[in-house]
Structure 1
Amino acid sequence: MTHTFVETNGRSSRLEGAAPVSLHVVQAGPTDGPLVILLHGFPEFWYGWKHQIDALAEAGFWVWAPDQRGYNLSDKPAGIGAYSIDSLVADVVGLIDASGREKALVVGHDWGAAVAWWTAVSFPDRVERLVTINVPHPIVMKQFVSRDVGQMVRSWYIGFFQFPRLPEILTRLNNWSMLVGTLLNSSRSGTFRRADLQQYKAAWSQPGAVTSMINWYRASLRHPPARRSSIRVSVPTMLIWGVRDKFLKREMAQRSIDLCDDGRVVFVEEATHWVQHEEPKRVNELLIGFLS
């Protein structure tokens, strides 16, 4: 793996007033291989793909795993509006531009999956294939959060994160016990080890990181995406879903694939929301097979 910083901005997506941001990117694999961009979720960073990076590189892919804006070593622009999903999508397109490629294979988990979905909706000409892990299409998510009582209960934290300052104070208490507890209590035993948690705590402790991370949730309600002519996904898509997810209902998976012209869902029965950590061999086989 090599660590570098890549400047990306909103020029490719024609976002007015978009300011450049510098993203920390871990790269691996042959530079002439197919470009794969791995987008992490909350509360992770590039390290969330530690089981996938080498496997994809060894399979011949050129892997880029960024810290998305606001996370770990990447820039943390001020203001909630800087974390709108349109800005996050612009970062992905900017990374593709910086690679010198026209298209990329885009893979996302959790919040990274939401960004990946919306990148494919907004810029299908820049996405070769799409893989999303344990997050539904954003439109399906919006429908369930607003209408399904069970999903409303599971998504309580979205409302909690809307408060000013309080979430930042509580997440820092007792050596990050809230975030650590979230990881440990929602995953299979032994998934996140002490050494892993030290890596996460170091990333969360970067100046401005915790507010920027939470601002993703604030922006999701206060700065919705620009209207698209179609919400359908036209690129080949695979959705991997750990069935024992404590945050998101299984029913949203097939509803998401129904919005794809060429899509399929793979359920991993024994896995939770953190399927790429718990079942790395299975996930890697699925990724390599589909992306190839």
Structure 2
Amino acid sequence: MTGLSISTDAGVFDAIVAGPPEGRPVMLLHGFPQTGLVWQRQIAALAAQGCRVVAPDQRGYSPGARPSRPEHYRVNHLVDDVVAFAEELGWATFDLIGHDWGGAVAWWTAHAHPARLRTLTVVSTPHPGALATSLRTDEDQRTRSHYMIDWRETPATEEHMLAHDARELRSLYAGKVPQDSVEAYVRHLSRPGALTAALNWYRAGRPDGTIGVIDVPTLYVWSTQDSAFGPTAAQETRRWVNGPFRFATLKGVSHWVPEEAPETLSRLMLEHLRAHGEL
């Protein structure tokens, strides 16, 4: 794995890259509060099978692409970033994988640009339509999602998360993320402006337009101990995919699937890619 800079009209994004340049292109999108580092075990597994893997630090997480205003983090801009990455990398089509907020961006990208994606894999995050339905009908999901409202307060949220050696930020990983990765994330998000940029994803407001059903072959991985997304939204997701769909449930695993269950997730990813093309 090596570092890569991806230059777009929105700025310069940092990324991790691995695998042969001519390999099957795979893009991995991280969520909050992490970076492309979250995928290091999956990057190694995919690259070992001949894939060309790129995991960017997304908008706001890359210092060279950190606009100041919350509206610059609306989902249409985040989807545009994904397409810009693919253009810069010379990828006409690619496999897209996302976790947490990266999963939400992946769903929206599959909706807006289905012809660009060979497959879609989303970890933890239900389809946005399924989540919206659950927020209207399921009190459990409303309770789970209340933090999204709390984090819109600024700068109080940043000050609270970073106080006392980032005690509150560290607590979000719930002891499920390797300590060296936690330290890397905390260092990254403690730099001036970084945490505000990451939280601007929550402050950007509602998406422009609505999202429909997904026609791209989709793997959705949900874990039973996920504190953010409950079973109602997870199970509702299958109604929002018309293409080939696999729903994998990981029992006893928390929200931090890529780092808590890396081997299982890598296996599921590779099975999905093999089911829809050669490796």
TM-score bin, normalised by smaller chain: over 0.9
Gaps of 5+ in 2: 275-279
Q: Quote the residue 1:202 is aligned against.
A: 187
Q: How far apart are residue 22 of structure 1 and its match? A: 1.4
- Taking a change above 3 Å as real, the CA distance of residues 93 and 113 of structure 1, as seen in their structure-2 partners, is same
TM-score normalised to structure 1 length: 0.90
Q: Aligned residue for 2:259? A: 277
| Structure 1 position 227, deviation (Å) | 4.1
Equivalent position of 1:213 in the other structure: 198
Quote the Cα distance in structure 1 between the aligned partners of 2:161 and 2:180: 20
- Any idea what SS the aligned residue of 2:102 has? helix
Deviations 1:172-224 (A, max 9, x none): 1111111111112xxxx5x32332221111111222111111110011xx242
Give, in whole Å, the separation in 2 of the partners of 1:270 and 1:51. Answer: 20
Q: 1:169 Cα deviation (Å)? A: 1.2
Conserved? CA contact 1:145–1:151, under 8 Å: yes
Q: Deviations over 1:8-66 (max 9, x none)?
A: 34xxxxxxxxxx22111110001111110000011000111121111110111000000
Deviates more, 1:156-165 or 1:58-67: 156-165
Deviations 1:92-145 (A, max 9, x none): 011111111211100000000000000000110111100000100111112222
Residue 262 of structure 2 corresponds to residue 253 of structure 1:
no
Distance 1:74 1:28 in 2: 21
RMSD in angstroms over aligned alpha carbons? Answer: 1.4
Alpha-carbon separation, structure 2, partners of 1:115 and 1:74: 20
Alpha-carbon separation, structure 1, partners of 2:256 and 2:73: 23
Deviates more, 1:197-206 or 1:25-34: 197-206
| Cα deviation 1:237-280 (Å, max 9, x = unaligned) | 00011111111112212211221112120001121111221111
**91-100 vs 71-80, which moves further:** 71-80
Aligned to 1:150: 140
Corresponding residue for residue 106 of structure 1: 96
Where does residue 79 of structure 1 map in the other structure? 69
2:277 aligned partner: none
Matched with 1:174 is: 164
Match of 2:29? 39
CA 74–287 in structure 1, closer or farther in 2 if over 3 Å, else same: farther
Q: Distance in 1 between matches of 2:6 and 2:218?
A: 27
Please say which of residues 40-49 and 68-77 is displaced more in the overlay: 68-77
Which residue, out of 268, 272, 275, partners 2:250?
Answer: 268
1:288 match: 270
Secondary structure at 1:283 match in 2: helix
Aligned to 2:57: 67
Query: For 2:255 and 2:12, how far apart are their aligned partners in 1?
Result: 29
Indicate the percent of aligned positions where both proteins have the same amino acid.
Answer: 33
Q: Which segments of 5 or more consecutive residues in structure 1 lack a partner in the other structure?
A: 10-19
Contact 1:86 1:226 (8 Å CA) reproduced:
no
Q: Does structure 1 retain, via aligned residues, the 8 Å contact 2:123–2:220?
A: yes
Aligned to 1:51: 41
- Give the Cα–Cα distance (whole angstroms) in 1 for the partners of residues 150 and 179 of structure 2: 27
Compute the TM-score of the two structures, normalised by the length of structure 2.
Answer: 0.94
Contact 1:73 1:203 (C-alpha < 8 Å) held by counterparts: no
Distance in 1 between residues matched to 2:38 and 2:206, nearest whole Å: 27
The SS at the match of 1:76 is: coil
d(CA) in 2 for partners of 1:164 and 1:196? 26
- Alignment partners' CA distance in 2, 1:259 and 1:193: 34
Shift in Å, 1:72: 4.7
Q: Give, as a single letter, the amino acid of the residue that structure 1 aligns with 2:4.
A: T
